[in-house]
Structure formats: structure tokens, C-alpha cells
Amino acid sequence: MIDDTAGDGDDTAPSDDPVDRLLASARDESIEDDVHVTGVMMQYYEVCTRELWFDSRDIEIDRDNAAVARGTRVDDEAYSEKRRHVSIDGTIAIDVLDDGRVMEVKPSSALVDPAKLQLLYYLWYLKHVTGVDRDGVLAHPRERRREDVELTPENEEWVEDAIRGVVDVIERDSPPAPTEKPFCESCAYYDFCWSC
């Protein structure tokens, strides 16, 4: 886990670590990083690295239907009166509740870890780029479920490992091999993976 805080810097040579590169470019507009890791990328990384690679190439096929079926689509309507949309650096778009917590709304809890990783990435980004500590809440309004999410040291490590994993995947010249998952049949890229 990194122990740097927002605004700190040093004069050492640039690091190759994707986490360091992300933070350096987020804190200093003059520093370019080819990869802009988004919350949705973090979600796809946890769902399927092959799907992440396709998505990083802007290969989109019937995305809405697949996302609805798997509960990964963002729900724009729920809690709309209680949350404000906030965009940071044009990379991170979050919803903030009146009490300051960051909310991520999903229609289904079918894939809870990807949604949790996405939300944790927002909390991590807020902490390390803007210096703001916030807790989060993951909401599934159709199931009347809410879960508090906290950026513990273990969760920070999960986020940073995932950032490195995302960059490793999307910098590859070809996609990772398909591995069968319970939700492949509802995936937009099914024909790319399993049609002979």
C-alpha cells in the first residue's frame, strides 16, 4: 500500500509502477499517462479480464442488455434526489450523498465484488488525489439493500493490485484467453469467445 498523501512529491526518477504513474498524472497536469483507469475498468477487471480488454478497445456490442442482465449497469434514477454528481479530472465521476458518503447504485447484487471494487477505487482516488477521506455505500434499491463500504488498508491493497492488473491487461496486444464463467451467456462478447 502506498503511504504518500495528496500533494506530496519528491525529486526521484519517475516510477514504472502504474499506481505511481496514475497518481503523478492525476496530481500534475504536465505529467502524461497513456492509461486513464476508470471505475468501470476496475469493475470489468473483477468481472473478466478479457471483457476489460475488449472494452478498452471500444468494442461495444449491445452493452446495455448485457449489463442489465448481470446487474452491472449504473442506475441513474434511484436516490436521485439525495445524491449529487461530482466529476474529478474528467476521469472519475461519483455520486455524493448529503452526508458526504460516496454512493454507487447497482440494480442487482448479482456481482457484488466488482461493484465494491469500483466504489473502493473512487474512495481511494479521493483520498490519494484530493486528500479527502470518505466512506461509501453500495446500494441495490430494487432489492432494498445497502452495504457500507470502507477504505481499510486491506481494501487499499485490493485497489492498488487491481490498478496494476488493469494496466497490465489493457497494455497487451491481444486479449486474455476466454475462461468460462456463469455469466458468459449474458456477456456482450459471447460470440467473440465461444462461437466456433
Among 133, 67, 72, which Cα is nearest to 105's? 72
Contact call for residue 170 and ligand SF4 (CB under 6 A): no
Contact call for residue 110 and ligand SF4 (CB under 6 A): no
Taking the least distance from each CB to ligand SF4, the nearer of 79 and 190 is 190
The terminus-to-terminus CA distance of the chain in angstroms comes to 43
Part in contact with ligand SF4 (CB under 6 A); list of ranges 30-38, 79-87, 94-102, 181-189: 181-189
CB 95 within 8 A of CB 134: no
Contact call for residue 46 and ligand SF4 (CB under 6 A): no
Q: Quote the CA–CA distance of 190 and 71 in Å, as a whole number.
A: 17
Contact call for residue 189 and ligand SF4 (CB under 6 A): yes
Handedness of CA 36, 112, 120, 172 (dihedral sign): negative
Contact call for residue 63 and ligand SF4 (CB under 6 A): no
- Among 46, 51, 55, 75, which residue sits at the site for ligand SF4 (rule: CB under 6 A)? 51
Contact call for residue 181 and ligand SF4 (CB under 6 A): yes
Taking the least distance from each CB to ligand SF4, the nearer of 66 and 102 is 66
CA angle 147, 185, 66 (to 5 degrees): 55
Contact call for residue 41 and ligand SF4 (CB under 6 A): no
Number of residues that bind ligand SF4 (CB under 6 A): 11
Q: Cβ of residue 49: shortest distance to ligand SF4, in angstroms?
A: 8
Taking the least distance from each CB to ligand SF4, the nearer of 67 and 137 is 67
Contact call for residue 190 and ligand SF4 (CB under 6 A): yes
Query: Residue 120, SS3?
Result: helix
For 51, the grid coordinates are: 471483457
**Sheet of 92-97, strands arranged across:** 83-88, 92-97, 102-105, 136-140, 145-149
Q: Cβ of residue 82: shortest distance to ligand SF4, in angstroms?
A: 33
DSSP E strands: which ranges in the chain?
Answer: 83-88, 92-97, 102-105, 136-140, 145-149
- Among 37, 42, 46, 50, which residue sits at the site for ligand SF4 (rule: CB under 6 A)? 50
- List interacting residues with ligand SF4 (CB under 6 A): 48, 50-51, 178-179, 181, 184, 187, 189-190, 193
